[in-house]
Amino acid sequence: MIQLKGAVAPRRALAAGALLVASVFGATSAMAQGSPIRVGLMLPSTGTYAALGTAITNGFKLHVAEQGGKLAGRNVEYFTVDDESDPSKATENANKLVKRDKVDVLVGTVHSGVALAMAKVARENKTLLIVPNAGADELTGPLCAPTLFRTSFTNWQPAYAMGKVTAQKGHKKVVTLTWKYAAGLQAVEGFKEAFEQSGGKIVKEMTLPFPNVEFQPFLTEIAALKPDAVYVFFAGAGAAKFARDYHAAGLKNSIPLYASGFLTDGTLEAMGEAGKGLQTTLHYADGLDNKKDAAFRLSYAKTYKLQPDVYAVQGYDAAQLLRAGLAAANGDISQKDVIIKAMEAAKIDSPRGTFTLSKAHNPVQDIYLREAQGGQNKVIGTPLKALADPARGCKM
Ligand code: BEZ
C-alpha cells in the first residue's frame, strides 16, 4: 500500500500513486502469471556455419531445460531468425527480433561481420546482447558496451596461443591462409603477434573471400613456398573441405598445419583421415577433467543423441550467464542495472572450466592445445592459463 505524507494529499499525487500501484502490480502480476522472457536467437541455420548455429541453439536450450524450462522463475519464449551468416542482411534480421518480436534479450551470432551489425542494432535499442560465438575483437574492444556480453572468445585469444605454440615447436617461417573477413584477419593478426614476438616470420598472408572453398591455387603456392608450417582460420563445412584438400594435395605429412580450434571442432568426422593428428588451440577440448563437463556431455548426448562441441558449450554458457543476471533481479528484465552488475560479477561453471568476465565483458579463460585422436580433439596441454583479451580500445 502507498502512504502519502502530509495532512491533505493533493489530487495529482493520489492519481500518480494509483498509477504507480497499477504499474507495479501490473508488472508483478505479469511475472506471477508467468509471462515469458522473450529470447531472440539470431543464428545461422543454413550455409557453411549452419551446424554451428544448431549447436549453439542446442546448448542454450539444454541449460534452460535443465532449469525446468525457466530462467530465474520465468518461462522462456524463443524467437528465431536464420541470419545465413550474411552481413548484408544482418541489420534487417536483428530489427525483426528487436522491433517486430520485441525480444527482451538478443542471443547471437556465429559470424563476426553479422555480429558487428547486430551489436549496433542492440545498442541503438538498448537491448541486452549475449554473443555466443562471433569473435570480432571490436565487440569487446572499441565497441564494448554495458549491455553487450560474450560467452565465447575474441578472434585474438586462441590464435595468439597458437602463435606461441608454433614458435615453441621451433618453426621459423609460416604461411597463413584464411577467409577475408574479421574473424580470419583478426585470427591471423593474433597468431602473428605471438609468433613474431618469439622471433618467427610470416612469409606470406593469403586470403580468399568468405565462404569460398576453392583452395587449390593456395595449396599449389604453399607447396612452392615450402614454409616450416601453415596457420589457418577456417570453421564449419569449409574447414572440413580445407583439411581434406590439404591432405589430398600431399601437404599434411610434409608441412605441419596449425589452426585456431574451429578448424577441427565439430568437423573431424567429415575430415576422416585428413583430420588425424591435427593440432589446434581453443578454450574447449575433449578429455577435460572436470565434473561440469562430464555432466554436460552426458546431458547433451542424452538429449540430442550427439556429442557436444565448443559451440554447444558457448550456447549453454550464454543461458547460464543470462540466468545469473535474471536471478539477481528476481526475473524482472526491466532491472537492467541489476542484471548487468550480476552478469559482470558472474563466475560461470562452464564445461570448459570455470571462467569470469573481463571488464570488457569477454571470458578470461584457459586456452588448451588439442590433438585430433580417434575423432576427438584431445587436450594435450594448456599453453595459456586465464588468458584475457587485451580489449584494445574498450572504454568502459
Ligand atoms: C567468427 O566469424 O567470428 C567465427 C565464425 C566461426 C568460428 C569462429 C569464429
Residue 303 one-letter amino acid: T
Q: What is the largest CA-CA distance in the chain?
A: 93
For the CA of 110, the closest atom of ligand 1 is 5
For the chain, domains (ranges, CATH) are 38-153+289-365 (3.40.50.2300), 156-282 (3.40.50.2300)
Q: Which of 42, 133, 155, 260 to mutate to test the pocket of ligand 1 (most atoms within 8 A of CB)?
A: 133
314-340: per-residue pLDDT in tens? 999 999 999 999 999 999 999 999 999
Q: Which of 52, 54, 110 to mutate to test the pocket of ligand 1 (most atoms within 8 A of CB)?
A: 110
Q: Per-residue pLDDT for 23 more than 70?
A: no
- Ligand 1: residues within 6 Å at CB? 49, 52, 110-112, 133-136, 155, 183, 235, 262
**How far apart, in whole angstroms, are the C-alpha atoms of residue 281 and residue 159?**
7
- Which of 376, 107, 343 shows the shortest CA–CA distance to 267? 376
124-142: per-residue pLDDT in tens? 999 999 999 999 999 999 9
The H or E element spanning position 216 is: helix 216-225
Atom 2 of ligand 1, residue of closest alpha carbon: 111
Atom 6 of ligand 1, residue of closest alpha carbon: 235
For the CA of 135, the closest atom of ligand 1 is 3
Query: What is the average pLDDT across 167-183?
Result: 98
Q: Per-residue pLDDT for 19 more than 60?
A: no
Distance of alpha carbon 262 from the chain centroid: 11
CA dihedral for 314, 319, 323, 326, sign (positive or negative) = positive
For residue 55, the CA-to-ligand 1 centroid distance in Å is: 13
For residue 22, the CA-to-ligand 1 centroid distance in Å is: 46
C-alpha cell at 395: 572504454
112-124 vs 182-197: helix crossing angle, rounded to 10? 110
Q: Per-residue pLDDT for 15 more than 70?
A: no
Q: Per-residue pLDDT for 32 more than 90?
A: no
Identify the residue whose cell numbers are 572504454: 395
Q: What is the reported pTM?
A: 0.92
Q: Per-residue pLDDT for 5 more than 50?
A: no
pLDDT value of position 31: 52
